Amino acid sequence: MNNISIAVQGGAGEDSEFIKSHQSGYKKGLEDAVNTGYKILKGGGSALDAVENAVRSLEDNPLFNSGRGSALNNKGEVEMDASIMDGKKNNAGAVSMVRNVKNPVTLARFIMENTSHVFLSGAGALEIAKEEDLALEGDSYFITEHQVEEFIKDRKQDDYNAILKKRIHGTVGAVALDKAGNLAAATSTGGTPNCLDGRIGDSCVIGAGCYANNSSCAVSGTGDGELLIINVIAYSIAFYMELKNCSLQDACDYVIHQRNMDVEGDIGVIAVDTRGNLGVCFNSERMHRAWKNNEEKITVKIYK
């Protein structure tokens, strides 16, 4: 059997009492997402199908900040971002500021495969979802008790100027290699509590929070979204790997721990190369992640 690999991530950043008290739930969610994608790969399915369905699993899980568990912006509303990239065709799709779409990653894939565009946002993206009968949910579906508590807590602590300078966290993602040797990546987010409405993070920005190319690797990023955008994290890893002809893990370590060693903020990535080697790297207190290679036992971790 040719090598197959999949990895998922459920966000990187500071630790919290909520995360500590829900470790088993987070680990179960990560394991379910990996198994969902791995089953597709083992059956000869594409890396694209694997990452889409792994991310859908995380979007459906209310513990993770995407889809059903999305954060509430400063108006108490949900705006979601997502992207997906095909390493074989070097094609991508992305959506931002989406509401009511149950699985934004599926909408991103539809845009990639069925339109001449890469990136749609807001009402235009929602209209596509409605026209194509993609699954939609009412506002209440996306609002969890935990995210309401986070919204209220930050609302009490932050004034408008504090919100403008607030660090942004909360992502899920997946990367995969299929039996045909093709790579794919997908990333999705529900933003962060009390962020400004209209804010766009790295999860929908190709080259920042999502990148895949069969000549190098597939990457899904997480952490402070603005930092991943400014430093073009996902593409930098792939470019450095090609430029230096180095291993995937060396490229991840260089980009995060050396090239961006002076960056004040959290950055994390999961990645896979064309041989099925996985790369995992982060500079934060924790990063929810899980992976599986071929017939090896699944690995699930939150802390270093």
Residues with active-site annotation: 171
Report the C-alpha gap between 86 and 110 in whole angstroms: 12
Please give the helix or strand (H or E) that residue 10 lies within, else none. Answer: strand 5-13
Query: What order of strands is seen across the sheet that includes strand 286-293?
Result: 119-121, 91-98, 80-86, 183-189, 172-177, 5-13, 286-293, 299-303
User: Angle at CA 262, nearest 5°, toward 257 and 263?
Assistant: 90
Name the residue type at position 222: T
DSSP assignment of 122-181 = HHHHHHHHHHTT--B--GGGG--HHHHHHHHHHHHH--HHHHHT------EEEEEE-TTS
- Go through 75-86 and write b for each residue having 16 or more CB atoms within 10 A of its CB, e for each that does not: eeebbbbbbbbb
Residue 240 CB: number of other CB atoms within 10 A?
18
Report the C-alpha gap between 187 and 83 in whole angstroms: 5
Report the C-alpha gap between 272 and 279 in whole angstroms: 6
Q: What phi and psi, each to the nearest 5 degrees, are found at residue 242?
A: -70, -45
